[in-house]
Structure 1
Amino acid sequence: MSTQAPIYKLTPRSDWLEAEATGRFDGAPVDLADGYIHFSTAEQVRETAAKHFTGETTLLLVAVDPGALGDALRWEPSRGGALFPHLYAPLSLDAVLYVRDLPLGEDGVHLFPESVR
């Protein structure tokens, strides 16, 4: 395992169950359409959840070791200029550090683990 900070994938539980059955995550529909799997850093993941997954009750947080992804991982600017990690290959489940449920709080905002800062 690398010493790099984890990167995160947000995905509905149904998509992740399919990945567990096949041994790899090929991506959500938006990933497949864009040609890469979208990830976020700890600093970006809450905004990603709010922007793309508002109200999603089965959301999972998948923590991934970026050092295990090799050259297929690229850091690319978003429309706003921030660098986001993109994986140009299927995600091997061997690179996954952990998977956690992201329940909705009373205010409708996803509750992240304390370790994601």
Structure 2
Amino acid sequence: MQESIIYCMVPKAYWEQWKEKEHYLPRDYEQEGFIHATKGDELLGKVADRVYGAFEGELFVLVVDESKSASPIKYEQASDGLLYPHIYGPLNHDAIADIRRMEKVDGHWRIGESIR
């Protein structure tokens, strides 16, 4: 994994509304004030299991090069004590290096193949 890579998960159906726009914003952006992200494949799987454990639809992960983000990214401590990257503004599409499927294997999410 590249040092500047972070991940943002998004249900496929929701991503379809944003893939042709200039930028991406998640459903909870107005409420949260930032875009949730994570770093590293292992942590991505743990967060996916926690947030999308019961989710049965198709789940994508945006592979983001944080060095290309037009919005500021801050690493902030969450209630689990870990630092997570938070994107404070819209995510510009040219910062999205790849989009990959998330796969559920034995009841746990893991990063899968590229859809690009």
Whether the 8 Å CA contact 1:11–1:28 is kept in 2: the answer is no
- The correspondence for 1:37, drawn from 26, 35, 38, is 35
Matching residue's letter, 1:84: Y
Aligned CA distance change for structure 1 residues 79 and 15 (closer, same or farther; 3 Å): same
Q: TM-score scaled by structure 2?
A: 0.83
Question: What are the within-5 Å matches in structure 2 for residues 35-74 of structure 1?
Answer: 35-42=33-40, 43-56=42-55, 57-69=57-69, 72-74=72-74
Distance 1:77 1:9 in 2: 17
Name the counterpart of 1:93. 93
For the residue of structure 1 that corresponds to 2:62, the secondary structure is strand
TM-superposition CA deviations, 1:11-68 (whole Å, max 9, x none): 1001211111222111232x33111000000142111100000142310011000111
Question: What are the within-5 Å matches in structure 2 for residues 15-26 of structure 1?
Answer: 15-26=14-25
Distance 1:77 1:71 in 2: 19
The structure with more helix, counted as a fraction of residues: 1
Distance 1:37 1:11 in 2: 11
Whether the 8 Å CA contact 1:12–1:58 is kept in 2: the answer is yes
Runs of 4+ deviating beyond 3 Å: none
Q: Runs of 5+ in structure 1 lacking a partner?
A: none
The structure with more strand, counted as a fraction of residues: 2
Distance 1:83 1:61 in 2: 19
For the residue of structure 1 that corresponds to 2:99, the secondary structure is strand
Aligned pairs, number: 110
Matching residue's letter, 1:69: S
Shift of 1:103: 2.5
Distance 1:69 1:23 in 2: 13
Aligned CA distance change for structure 1 residues 99 and 80 (closer, same or farther; 3 Å): same
